[in-house]
């Protein structure tokens, strides 16, 4: 699986958009970008994933650059409950292997 | 959406006790289940991968006789921490995945194990 790089921490004001970047310059053609988050003392929660097109669901939007070497997870209106560690993970879609978690980005949403 | 249920959520027990943790996929058949461990202020670390009906594959450094994994059905996997000691205290998290395409891996809410 391709390696990802994320900033260790970010702050965001409540109600504003949170834009979390991820670099994955060695991504392969068959690898998807997955985003998960982990709220303190809970299991990781799936947010969104994509291959090359931008994706949107009820939780977030995923913007993938045209060369696929980086992506941005957007939480359009951050709330205090969005405070969590956010993980960007790259993996082939048909992989039977487990997701490997790096250190992620610790997002703090402030009032 | 898919749900993975993990039980119990918290266990406190004496040293030497064996503890069993259950992981169930509630609305899909999990051909593969994964067990992770997470120490304070660290990321999740994969312990083992289990496929239904076959022996689990353990990551390097994880003792298979210490952490017994059973994946007897497509909806249930169990992790038994045998003769637990204080150093086994950790947050244990299971995850399940179907065989279908790019469906994401889903996680349980974890089990906080404290060995006194």
Instruction: Choose the closest CB to A96 out of B1, B32, B46.
Output: B32
Of A41, A1, A40, nearest to A24 by C-alpha is A1
Q: Give residue B60's pLDDT.
A: 94
The CA distance from A77 to A7, in Å, is 20
Q: Give residue B28's pLDDT.
A: 83
Q: What share of chain A in percent tops pLDDT 90? A: 83
DSSP structure class, residue B115: E
Question: Residue B1 — very low, low, confident or very high, per pLDDT cuts 50/70/90?
Answer: low
Residues of B in contact with A104 (CB under 8 A): 43
Instruction: Choose the closest CB to A101 out of B1, B43, B112.
Output: B43
Q: Give residue B62's pLDDT.
A: 95
Q: Contact at 8 Å (CB) between A48 and A73?
A: yes
Given CB atoms, is A9 within the 8 Å cutoff of chain B?
no
In terms of DSSP bridges, do strands B4-7 and A55-56 run parallel, antiparallel, or are they unpaired?
unpaired
Given CB atoms, is A69 within the 8 Å cutoff of chain B?
no
Question: Residue B103 — very low, low, confident or very high, per pLDDT cuts 50/70/90?
Answer: confident
The CA distance from B44 to B58, in Å, is 15
Given CB atoms, is A8 within the 8 Å cutoff of chain B?
no
Q: Give residue B72's pLDDT.
A: 81
CB pair distance less than 8 Å for A41 and B112:
yes
CB pair distance less than 8 Å for B102 and A49:
yes
pLDDT at residue B100 tops 70 = no
Q: Give me chain B's average pLDDT, please.
A: 91
C-alpha distance from B43 to closest chain A C-alpha (Å): 6
CA-based R_g, chain A, Å: 13
Of B26, B23, B85, B25, nearest to B48 by C-alpha is B23
Task: State pLDDT tens for residues B36-86.
Answer: 999 998 999 999 999 888 889 999 999 999 999 998 888 999 999 999 999
Q: Give residue B48's pLDDT.
A: 95
Residues of B in contact with A102 (CB under 8 A): 43
Instruction: Choose the closest CB to B105 out of A99, A102, A103.
Output: A99
Q: Give residue A17's pLDDT.
A: 97
Question: Residue B27 — very low, low, confident or very high, per pLDDT cuts 50/70/90?
Answer: confident
CB pair distance less than 8 Å for A43 and B110:
yes
Of B99, B104, B79, nearest to A37 by C-alpha is B104
Dig out the tokens for A60 from the structure.
């977030």
Residues of A in contact with B105 (CB under 8 A): 46, 98-99
- A-B contacts at Cβ under 8 angstroms: 56
Of A108 and B102, more confident: A108
Of A17 and A94, more confident: A17
Q: Give residue A96's pLDDT.
A: 72
Q: Contact at 8 Å (CB) between A90 and A32?
A: yes
Of A92 and A34, more confident: A34
A92 DSSP β-pair partners: A31
Of A3, A32, A27, A26, nearest to A103 by C-alpha is A3
Q: Give residue A35's pLDDT.
A: 97
pLDDT at residue B101 tops 80 = no
> What 3-state DSSP class applies to B92?
strand
B22, B26, B43: best to mutate for the A interface, most A CBs within 10 A: B43
């Amino acid at each position: 699986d391709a390696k990802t790089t994320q900033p260790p921490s970010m702050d965001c004001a409540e109600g504003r958009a949170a834009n979390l970047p991820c670099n994955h310059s060695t991504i392969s053609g068959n690898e998807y970008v997955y985003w998960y988050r982990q709220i303190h003392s809970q299991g990781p929660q799936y947010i969104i994933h994509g291959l090359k097109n931008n994706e949107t669901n009820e939780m977030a939007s995923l913007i993938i650059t045209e060369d696929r070497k980086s992506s941005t997870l957007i939480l359009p209106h951050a709330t205090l409950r969005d405070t969590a560690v956010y993980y960007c993970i790259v993996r082939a879609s048909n992989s039977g292997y487990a997701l490997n978690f790096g250190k992620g980005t610790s997002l703090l949403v402030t009032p | 959406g898919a749900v993975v249920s993990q039980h119990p959520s918290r266990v406190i027990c004496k040293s030497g006790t064996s503890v069993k943790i259950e992981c169930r996929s509630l609305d899909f058949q999990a051909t593969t289940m994964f067990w992770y461990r997470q120490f304070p202020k660290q990321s999740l670390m994969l312990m083992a991968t289990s496929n239904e009906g076959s022996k689990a594959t353990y990551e390097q450094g994880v003792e298979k006789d210490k952490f017994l994994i059973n994946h007897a059905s497509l909806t249930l996997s169990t992790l038994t921490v045998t003769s637990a000691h204080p150093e086994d205290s950790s947050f244990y998290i299971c995850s399940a995945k179907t065989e279908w395409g790019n469906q994401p891996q889903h996680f349980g809410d974890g089990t906080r194990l404290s060995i006194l």
